[in-house]
Structure 1
Amino acid sequence: APELSAVVNFGPVSLLGGRVDFSDRFIQPNYSADLTELTGKLSAFSSQAPNGAVQLADMELHGRAQGTASLEVLGKINPLVKPLALDITGKVRDLELPPLSPYSARYAGYGIERGKLSVDINYQVQPDGRLSANHKIVLNQLKFGDAVPDAKDTLPVKLAVALLADRHGVIDINLPVSGSLSDPQFRIGPIVFKLIVNLIVKAITAPFSLLASALGGGGEELSMVNFAPGSASLSPEARTGLDKVAKALLERPALSMTVVGSASLAHERDAYKRAQLQALVLAEKRRGAVLDGATAEDARALAVSAQDYPVLLKAVYKRADFPKPRNLIGLAKDIPVPEMEALLLANLSVTEAAMRALAEQRGVAVRDYLASLKLPMERLFLGATKAAPEDAKWQPRAELNLATQ
C-alpha cells in the first residue's frame, strides 16, 4: 500500500505578551537578543491543498527587539507545504547597533561605537519554489571603533561608511536576492552576507562605484581625468566629470581626495613639443600686445587666430637659436610655414623632468578645479607624480584616490 503522508491542520492562533530569548554561544563574546511585547495572530492553514490551491494563513506580528527597536511582520504563510509558501514583509526600526559588536569584530575586524539599523524586507515564494527577496537596509550614524587586535579578518568598513553615508550620516542600501528553494545549494543567509561583504570590499577595489548614487550616473570611469597628449588643460568632458565628483564629495564630508598626475615621454614626446610650440607662438602675441601698450591682464586673455599664426610663427622662428637655411649672402631665408614648424619642433627638447612637471601640472589643474567648486583645500591633496606604464593603450591622465579623513 502506498505510504500516506500525515495531514496537519493548524490554527488559528493568537499571541499576547510573548517573548523570545536568543543567545549565540558561537560568537565570542556571546551575543544575546530578546524579542519582547510580542502580539499577533495567525489564521488557520493546512498541509492539504483544497481544490489544488495552497491555503495561506494571514500572519501579523508586532513587538520590540532588544527593548528599543520596533518589530513588525505582516503577510501570508504556509510552512506545512513543500515548497514553503509565503509572501511576507517585515520591518525593524531603530535597532541599536553597538550590541552587535561581537559580529562586526569577528567578520570585519572593528567594533561598533554607535549607530542604528532599520530594515524592510519582503520575501515571496512562487508555487514552483522560486524565491525573490528584497532587503532595504538603512544605517543611521554608524561609527566603527578602532581595529580589533589580532582580528582574523579585516574589512575596509570605515572607508565604506564614508563612501556610502550622505551628509546626514544615513546609508541606504537595497539587496535583492533570488533563487530556488529546491536547490540544495541555495542558502539565503550566506548570499546576503556575501553581498554585504562584496559591497564593503568595493570601498577598496571600486570606490567610485559606491558613490554612483550621488554622482548622478557614472562610476569608476570618474576616477580618471583624461587629458590631451602634451596638455594639462581640462577639457569640457573632464570638467563635467569633476562636477559630479565634487557634488559627491560635498555630500560626504568624511572623505578626502588625493590627485595623482601622470605623463609619459614615450607616449607624449611629439604632442608635448607641439604644445611647446603653440605656447611660444602665444607668448609672442602677448609680448607684442604688451609692447603696444596692453596690460598684462589683457594680454593673458589673448588667443592666436589663424590669420595671426604665420606672422607670429615667423617671429618665433627668427628668435630661435639654431642653424637655419640661408640665402646666397648668408642671411636666414624665408621658408614656408610647415618647414618652419618642422625645424622648430626638431630643435625643441623634451626631458623626463619636463614630463614630471607636466604630470604635476595635471594634478594641480584637477585639484584647483575641485577647490573652485567649494571643496575645502584641506580635503584635497596632491600625490607624488606617477610614471606611465608600458602600455600602448595608456592615456594621459590624473588619477583620483579616495580615503577617509
Structure 2
Amino acid sequence: MNRKKGLIAGLGLIALLAIYAFLGFYLVPALALKKLPALIQEETGQQARLSAIRFNPFKFTLTLEGFALAAKDGKDLAGFERLFVDLDAVESAKLGGVVLDVIELHNPQVNIERRADGAFNFADIKTKQSESQPDTTDSDGESLALLVHQIAITEGRIGWQDATSGQVLSENLLPLNLSLNEFSTQAASSAPGELSVGLESGGTIQWHGDFSIAPLASKGQLQLEKIGLARSWQLFLQQILPVEIVNGVLGLQVDYTLAQAADGMLTKLSNGNVEIKQLEITENNHGKPLVSLPALAVNGINVDVNQQQVEIGAVSSSDAGISAWLQADGVVNYQALFAGDAAAQDVNQPTAPPAVAEESKPWLVKVDELAFNNYNVHFTDYSLPKPLELQLSELSGKVQKFSTQDSGKLPVQLSCKFNNTGGLKVDGEMSLQPFAGSWALDIHDINLKVFQSYLDPFLKLELVDGDFSGKGNLQLAVAEQLQLTFQGDANLEGLVTRDQLKNVDFLKWSNLEVSGIDIDLAKQDFKFAKVMFDRPYLRFNIKKDGKTNIDDLMLPQTPAKPAPAAKPPAKPAAGKSTEPRVSIGKIELKEGKSDFSDYSLILPFVAAMNSLNGEVSGFSSDKDAEAKLALKGKVYEMASVGIKGKYQFDTGDSDIALNFTNMPLPLITPYMAEFAGYRIEKGQMALDLRYTIKQAQLAVQNKLLIDQLTLGEHVENPNAVSLPLHLAIALLKDADGKINLDFPITGSLEDPKFSIGSLLADVLVNLISKVAMSPFKALGSLLDDDKDFSAVAFAPGSAELAVEESAKLDQLNKALLSKPELTLEIKGIAYQNMDWPAMRFEAVKDVLKKMKSGELRDKGEKVRHEYIELTDDDYKRLLAKFFGEVFPQEMDRSLLGKPRIKANPDSDFYPLAQQKLEGIFPPDPQRLNDLAIARANHIAQYLAEPGGISKDRLYLMATELNQAETADGIKSVLSLSVSQ
C-alpha cells in the first residue's frame, strides 16, 4: 500500500513536472510570443516584432530573440538580437527580492531621429495611462530588493539622425559594450563596471567605475579619444554656435564623483585633462577662416559643482592662427557673429516680465598657468576705403596664478612681432577684482607706413617710412574714474612723409626722441622731460591764391550729423580742474632744415633754411610758466639766423630777440618787388628785432643794417607802393655804403585791426617818404649839421654868394663828393617885390648909359651902352638931363646952374631925382629872369670849379619869378636826385 501510494505520488509528481515543463518550455513562451507584440503595440501604438522566446522553468532563464519596435513608417526605433536573463530563485528567496545572475543583451540597436520640424521619432510612442501606478514596495513599505550579479551589453548600436539643418546628418555609436557587476538596489552597494562606445566617424568613449542606486552615486573615470569635432558640430552644435567647426579632434580624460545629498547631487571632477588638435573654425557654410589651432591642452582640471569652484593646473596651446576683421559698418566680425545669434534668440523667445534678480554665489575659477606660444593674429580693417591688414606673429604669452576671486597679483608675460618687422613685449602683473595692472612695455620698430589707410580719408599725404619705438611702465586701474599712468621714453625714427600732389617730401626727420614721459590721465597731467628732433625738415609753400600746401593736403570732411541732445555733463568737483596740464622740460632741434616758397608774390620767393639748432625750455601750461627760446640757423648756408627770448604762456607776455646776419638781399627780391616794384641786384642785411609784449601791448625795436644795397630793374606791379627808392637809398647810405635804421613799432594786440605786417610796412613807407621829401635833412645828418642845405640865400637884386652861403656850399660839396650817384638840381629864383627895388637903380643907369652912347654916336663914336662906364660927372649931368626930360615942371636950376627940385630946393637933388626916376620903371621880367639865371649859375660854378663836382651831376632847372614877398628871404632852391 505504501509502495502504491509512493508510486502514485511519484507519478503525480512526474506529471506535475511534465505539466510544469510543458507550460515553461512551450506553452508560456508560445503564448508570450503571440500576445506580447500585440500588447506592446497596444501600449505604444508602434509595431513590435519578436522572433523567439525561450524559458527554462528549471533554471529560470529567459531568452528573447529578434525583437524590434518599428514606427508607423516602418523604420525600427529600437531592438536587439538576443536578451538573456538568468534568475537565481534560491538566492532571491533568501534575499526576499529578485536576484539575477546574468542579464545579457546582445546587439541592441536604438535609432534616434530628429525630423526637420524638430520632433523626435520617439515622440510617436503613446503610453497608456493606468488608473493606479504599480506598487513596487513590499508589505512593509520598502522597495523591492533587486540584485544583478552581472549585466552585459555587447555589440550595441545607437543611431542618430538629424534633419533640422536642411540636410540629413547621421552618426552611429558602435560597438557599444557595457559590463556592470553586482548591481543592487540595496543601500551601501555599488556596482563596478565598464563602458566602451565607438563612433562610426572616429573616436571612442570609455568609462570605468562603480555605480549605486541607493543612494544614487557613481565614481569613476571618463575618457574620450579622437572625437571628431567637425562631426559633433554638424550633429549637435550648428544650431547653437554661430560658427562652423570644420576640423578638430578632441581627447578628454577625467575622474568624477557623483553622490546624492540633501540639497541635491554632489558632483566633482578631478585629474581632468583635455586635448584638442587640429581645430579649425570658420564662418558658417565654409566661410572665411576664423581660428586654426593645432594644439590645445588643458591639464589638472578639478571641478566642484556644488562649491562652484574650478581649478586648472595648466592651459597651453601653440601655433594658432586667428583671423579677425572690422566690417565696413565698424563692427568686429566676432561681435557681429555672436550679437546676431543673441538677437535671433531674443526674437524667437517671447518677452517676459523681468524677474527679480537673485543673488547667487559666483563661480571661483583658478588657473595656475595659462600659456600660448607662436600664435599668429591677422586683422583686416574693411571700414577704410583701402582695407588695412595688420599681423601679430610669434605671439606668445603667459599668465600665472589666475583667480576670479583673488585680488592678488597675476604675473603676465606677452611678446609678439608686428607685421614681421616690429615687436611688442609686456611683462608685469595684474589683478582682476577690481581690474588693475602694472606692466613694463617694450615696443620697437613699428613701421607707420602700414597705417596709411587711416590717413587717406583726411590728408593727401603718403607715409613713406617711419618706425615707432617706446619703453616704459604702464599702470591701469578700473575705478569710478579710470586711473592710467605711464612713465617711459619713446622715439619715432626715420619719419618720411610725401606730398601726394607734388610727389615731394613734406615733413621728415631722422629721429624724434621723447624722454622722461610721465602721464597721469586721471589728473590730466602730461609731462615730457625732453623732446629732441634730429634733422627735422618741413616744406611750406604759399600759392598764387594765398593758400598753402597744407591747405591742399587737407581733404574736405563731411560734417557729422548732430548727435541727439544729451544730458549736460556733471560739473567737476569743487577744487578740481579738468583742464589738462602739459609741460615739456626741453625741446631740442639738431640740424633742422626747411624749404619755404611764396608764389603769391609778383616774383616767386624760394628760400632754404638749414643748420637750425637750439632749444626751447620751460614749455608748460602752468599759469606762471615761462618758455625760453634759443635757436640758431642758416639760410642758404650764408645768412645766420638767431632767435632768443622768453614767452609767458598765461599772459602772453614775451620778450623775443630775432637776429639775422649776412642775409643776401637778392634772396628777398620777391618781397621788394611785391612791396615797391623793384628787384634787388646786390646787398646784404643784418637785422636785430626785439619783440616785447606786456599786457597785450606790443613794442618792437627794429635795428636794420643794409650794406651795399643796389636796386635792379623795375618790375611791373600795380599794387606796389610808389616810393622814390633810389633817392632814399642813396641818401640813407653812409660813406661806406651802409644803411643803419633804428625804428620802433608799437600797437595793441587787442585791436582787431592790428597787424604787425601792416605796421611794419607803414613805418618803412613813412621813413622812405620822409627821406625823399626832406633829402637835405638826411644829407645834413651825414654832415652832423642841422643847416638847411636845400636853399642858398642871396642879397636883394644880387647873384653874388655871401660868405656864409659859400661855407654851406662847401659842406654840401663834401657830401656830394661822398655820394657820386647823387645829382644836384639848381633852381634860380628872382623875387619881384624884393629884388626889383634893388634892381631899379641899374635900370636908371642903363638909360643914362644909352644917353651917353647917343652922345658919342653924335661925335662919330660907336660904343654900345653895355660897355660904357659912367664917370661921376657923367652920371650927375645925364641924371639931371633925364629928370628934366621926364619931370620938366618939377625941376629948375639955381643962379649958378645947379639942378634942384622945386618943391624942395634945399635938398640934395641927385638922390631925390634917382628915387623919383626909379619909380617910373615897372618890374622887368627879363632882368629878373637874368638875375635868377645868374644866381643858379653862381651856385653851379662854385660847386664845379672850386668844389670839384662833375658838371654832369649839376642840372640848372627852369627859373622861377616869384611876385610875392617871402618871410624866409631870397633863396635859390636845390633838389637832389639819383642818376639812373
- Do the aligned partners of 1:223 and 1:400 also contact (CA within 8 Å) in 2? yes
Distance 1:391 1:55 in 2: 69
Q: CA deviation at 1:388?
A: 1.4
- Do the aligned partners of 2:833 and 2:965 also contact (CA within 8 Å) in 1? no
- Do the aligned partners of 2:929 and 2:959 also contact (CA within 8 Å) in 1? yes
Query: Which of residues 26, 29, 34 is equivalent to 2:608?
Result: 34
Give the letter for the 1:81 counterpart. D
Where does 1:74-113 land on structure 2 (aligned, <5 Å)?
Answer: 74-78=644-648, 80-82=649-651, 84-113=652-681
Distance 1:6 1:274 in 2: 95
Distance 1:216 1:315 in 2: 54
The answer to whether 1:250 aligns with 2:820 is: no
The answer to whether 1:228 aligns with 2:795 is: yes
Where does 1:129-278 land on structure 2 (aligned, <5 Å)?
Answer: 129-149=696-716, 151-153=718-720, 154-202=722-770, 204-218=772-786, 221-273=788-840
Name the CA shift for 1:231/1:7 in 2 (closer, same or farther; >3 Å).
Answer: farther
Name the CA shift for 1:342/1:130 in 2 (closer, same or farther; >3 Å).
Answer: farther
1:401 matched residue in structure 2: 975
Distance 1:166 1:338 in 2: 62
Q: CA deviation at 1:166?
A: 2.6
Give the letter for the 1:268 counterpart. D
Distance 2:842 2:691 in 1: 61
What TM-score results when the alignment is normalised by the length of structure 2? 0.35
Decide which moves more: 64-73 or 162-171. 162-171
Name the CA shift for 1:187/1:33 in 2 (closer, same or farther; >3 Å).
Answer: same
Where does 1:2-13 land on structure 2 (aligned, <5 Å)?
Answer: 6-13=580-587
Distance 1:109 1:73 in 2: 30
Q: CA deviation at 1:6?
A: 4.8
- Do the aligned partners of 1:106 and 1:151 also contact (CA within 8 Å) in 2? no
Name the CA shift for 1:390/1:58 in 2 (closer, same or farther; >3 Å).
Answer: same
Distance 2:906 2:687 in 1: 75
Q: CA deviation at 1:314?
A: 7.7
Deviations 1:247-285 (A, max 9, x none): 322221100101111013234322333688999xxxxxx
Query: Which of residues 876, 879, 889 is equivalent to 1:317?
Result: 876
2:913 matched residue in structure 1: 343
- Do the aligned partners of 1:167 and 1:253 also contact (CA within 8 Å) in 2? no
1:304 matched residue in structure 2: none
2:125 matched residue in structure 1: none
Give the letter for the 1:22 counterpart. F
Give the letter for the 2:701 counterpart. N
- C-alpha root-mean-square deviation of aligned residues, in Å? 3.2
Distance 1:404 1:236 in 2: 29
Deviations 1:318-345 (A, max 9, x none): 4535235443447234788865223223
Distance 1:12 1:270 in 2: 83
Q: CA deviation at 1:36?
A: 0.7
Deviations 1:88-120 (A, max 9, x none): 222211111223222222221221222211111
- Do the aligned partners of 1:314 and 1:340 also contact (CA within 8 Å) in 2? no
- Do the aligned partners of 1:249 and 1:255 also contact (CA within 8 Å) in 2? yes
Distance 2:775 2:690 in 1: 29
Distance 2:596 2:717 in 1: 28
Distance 1:230 1:34 in 2: 66
Give the letter for the 1:323 counterpart. F
Give the letter for the 2:961 counterpart. A
Name the CA shift for 1:29/1:146 in 2 (closer, same or farther; >3 Å).
Answer: closer
Higher relative contact order (CA 8 A, sep 6+): 1
Return the structure number with greater helix share: 1
Distance 1:385 1:101 in 2: 40
1:298 matched residue in structure 2: none
Give the letter for the 2:666 counterpart. P
Query: Which of residues 91, 104, 121 is equivalent to 2:689?
Result: 121
- 3-state SS of paired residue (2:912): helix
Q: CA deviation at 1:74?
A: 2.1
Where does 1:11-26 land on structure 2 (aligned, <5 Å)?
Answer: 11-26=585-600
Name the CA shift for 1:76/1:243 in 2 (closer, same or farther; >3 Å).
Answer: farther
Where does 1:56-67 land on structure 2 (aligned, <5 Å)?
Answer: 56-67=626-637
- 3-state SS of paired residue (1:44): strand
| Residue segments in structure 2 that go unaligned for 5+ positions in a row | 1-570, 847-870, 885-890
Name the CA shift for 1:63/1:338 in 2 (closer, same or farther; >3 Å).
Answer: farther
1:360 matched residue in structure 2: 933
What TM-score results when the alignment is normalised by the length of structure 1? 0.79
Name the CA shift for 1:236/1:276 in 2 (closer, same or farther; >3 Å).
Answer: farther
Give the letter for the 1:140 counterpart. D
Q: Percent identity?
A: 30
The answer to whether 1:71 aligns with 2:641 is: yes
Distance 2:941 2:723 in 1: 33
Distance 1:199 1:243 in 2: 28
Give the letter for the 2:642 counterpart. E
- Do the aligned partners of 2:586 and 2:618 also contact (CA within 8 Å) in 1? yes
Where does 1:291-310 land on structure 2 (aligned, <5 Å)?
Answer: none
- Do the aligned partners of 1:224 and 1:400 also contact (CA within 8 Å) in 2? yes
Name the CA shift for 1:357/1:115 in 2 (closer, same or farther; >3 Å).
Answer: same
- Do the aligned partners of 2:831 and 2:965 also contact (CA within 8 Å) in 1? no
Q: CA deviation at 1:64?
A: 0.1
Return the structure number with greater strand share: 2
Distance 1:192 1:384 in 2: 39
Deviations 1:324-379 (A, max 9, x none): 54434472347888652232233344511110111112112222333333333332
| Residue segments in structure 1 that go unaligned for 5+ positions in a row | 280-311
Give the letter for the 1:322 counterpart. F
Distance 1:22 1:85 in 2: 28
Distance 1:106 1:147 in 2: 11
Name the CA shift for 1:5/1:400 in 2 (closer, same or farther; >3 Å).
Answer: farther
1:387 matched residue in structure 2: 961
Alignment size in residue pairs: 366
Give the letter for the 1:235 counterpart. A
- 3-state SS of paired residue (1:37): strand
Deviations 1:150-190 (A, max 9, x none): 65434322222222223332222112112232333332221
Deviations 1:105-153 (A, max 9, x none): 2221221222211111122223x23322111112222112222246543
- 3-state SS of paired residue (1:232): coil
Deviations 1:169-221 (A, max 9, x none): 222211211223233333222111111122233454332233242132437x4
Distance 2:840 2:735 in 1: 46
Deviations 1:264-319 (A, max 9, x none): 3234322333688999xxxxxxxxxxxxxxxxxxxxxxxxxxxxxxxx97874345
Give the letter for the 2:700 counterpart. A
Greater radius of gyration (CA): 2
- Do the aligned partners of 2:832 and 2:961 also contact (CA within 8 Å) in 1? no
